[in-house]
Amino acid sequence: MTTHRPSYEGVLDAARQIYGVAVRTPLIESPALNAVVGGRVLMKAENLQRAGAFKFRGAYNRISRLSAEEKTRGVVAFSSGNHAQGVAAAALVGTSAIIVMPSDSPRVKVEGVIGFGGEVRLYDRWTESREAIGAAIADERGSVLVPPFDDPFIIEGQGTVALEMLDQADTPMDQLLCGASGGGLMAGINLVMAERSPQTKVIVVEPEAYDDTARSLSAGERVGHPEGAPSICDALMSPMPGALTWPINRRLAGAVTVSDAEVAEAVRFAFRHLKLVVEPGGAVSLAALLSGKSETRGRTTGIVLSGGNIDAALYGEIVEGRFRG
């Protein structure tokens, strides 16, 4: 495939590419949440996306562009789960997929990959390199490597989230909050907002121990974070912003972090008041609002509920108030 730089025009093309396959998820509003934060909150419910997360958008945008010859060789990807399930949907375009996943991935995500027809290769996230394993498999099998965020088609596919939000919103957004791991979704959002709504402040939300984007913004260059304890936000544990995503995300207006306890409260709030199942990594923006990490009074805030794939056991602990983060 032709290599190109991620762009707003590419996001528009991605919207055409995924039309009719990806779900146009709703932009919802909750009087209960508005009352709590003292402003309007518009929530993009990507937990209702195909495969349960926004990742399907980028994965399909990338895989659907494979040539007939590339499809015969299959694809390989590395992911904690949501990108994995998106890539496993490669069966939709007639190719196979092998996914390199951490051995501590939530069971629901592993089962999701297998359910889509994907092959799973587990690894130890603390002692092994998923990039090295993925590259070795690609070399051995001749498969096409589909990275979770550092690919222009992935970034542009994720950017369709922001396109839809702007089309669905009945008012301009003062700010937009979104979680980030390697920054693919955030980069796609930034491409769109810079073109269509530059007055909207775009703010990244990260788990406390995985604040590499915040550290990079502070340092003025791409840096990682110290090796931290595991987080319930398994989808947001990338060690460093992507090489392609970081130059785009340098325009971020700010960064905030949230604790596991604050994230658990957001997951519980979504269950009780929004009637939605949202996984921890998908609830960090909601957690930032509920914990007062971002000013919301008198403002219109957009957030992305980016995924809904969570193990039943952990979900039960959280919604029943037994989780201690």
Active centre residues (catalytic):
55, 306
Q: Name the token pair of 66.
A: 């494979």
Cβ atoms within 10 Å of 68's Cβ, excluding its own: 8
Q: Name the token pair of 208.
A: 């406390």
CA atoms within 13 A on the CB side of 138: 17
As a whole number of angstroms, the distance between CA 60 and CA 94 comes to 12
As a whole number of angstroms, the distance between CA 99 and CA 105 comes to 12
As a whole number of angstroms, the distance between CA 274 and CA 267 comes to 10
Question: What DSSP string runs through 130-177?
Answer: HHHHHHHHHHHH-PEE--SSSSHHHHHHHHHHHHHHHHH-SS--SEEE
The helix/strand count (H/E) of the chain reads as 14, 10
